[in-house]
Amino acid sequence: MVKHHGVPYLEKKQAKLIVNKTNINDIKKILGNPSTTSKFDNDVWIYIERKQTQSKLSNLGRMKIFKNDVLVLEIDSYGILKKKEFYNKDDMKNIKVVEATTQSGFRKNSFIYDFMSSMRQKINDPLGQRAKKRRQITQQ
């Protein structure tokens, strides 16, 4: 059993795209709508093709990826293809991923955390009715 996701035959279809010549209409006619898009200086369109097959019985029927292709297209403001990058499963193994992480800006006991907590409390109980009820219950 094979599960297919994305654009079929992406590797063959992407060969028809010519940098500085192909436009948005040609891209959509050949590949269809992109899997995802992004906007930086130019538009970035990403197309994905992924095929999975059922693995051996010893792996309890888990799916194994045997094809994982990604096509990244950069399109300028005039709608012309400016850059094309194709990655297959082997290329993805060679991509280095940065392991540095960013810290959360909202730590307990920080000014921003305290401020946001008080704002949340005021939004949830603008007239302070909950606090009055708690005082009345504790006094009884």
Q: Kindly report each contact of residues 23-26 with a partner whose C-beta sits within 8 Å and lies 24 or more positions away, as own/partner.
A: 23/79, 23/80, 23/81, 24/75, 24/79, 25/79
pLDDT of residue 22: 94
Mean pLDDT of 1-21: 89
User: What's phi and psi for 116, nearest 5 deg?
Assistant: -65, -35
Mean pLDDT of 3-30: 91
HSE-up of residue 89 (Cα within 13 Å, Cβ side): 9
Mean pLDDT of 14-31: 94
Q: What is the 3-state secondary structure (H, E, C) of the chain?
A: CEEEEECCCHHHHHCCCCCCCCEHHHHHHHHCCCCEEEECCCEEEEEEEEEEEECCHHHCCCEEEEEEEEEEEEECCCCEEEEEEEECHHHHHHCCCCCCCCCCCCCCCCHHHHHHHHHHHHHHCCCCHHHHHHHHHHHC
pLDDT of residue 80: 94
Chain segment 28-79, per-residue pLDDT in tens: 999 999 988 887 667 899 898 888 887 666 566 677 777 888 898 999 989 9
Provide the pLDDT confidence category of residue 19 given band limits of 50, 70 and 90. very high
pLDDT of residue 36: 85
Chain segment 79-136, per-residue pLDDT in tens: 999 999 898 877 766 666 566 666 655 455 565 666 666 666 666 666 666 666 666 6
Domains annotated on the chain, with CATH: 2-94 (3.30.1450), 102-140 (no CATH)
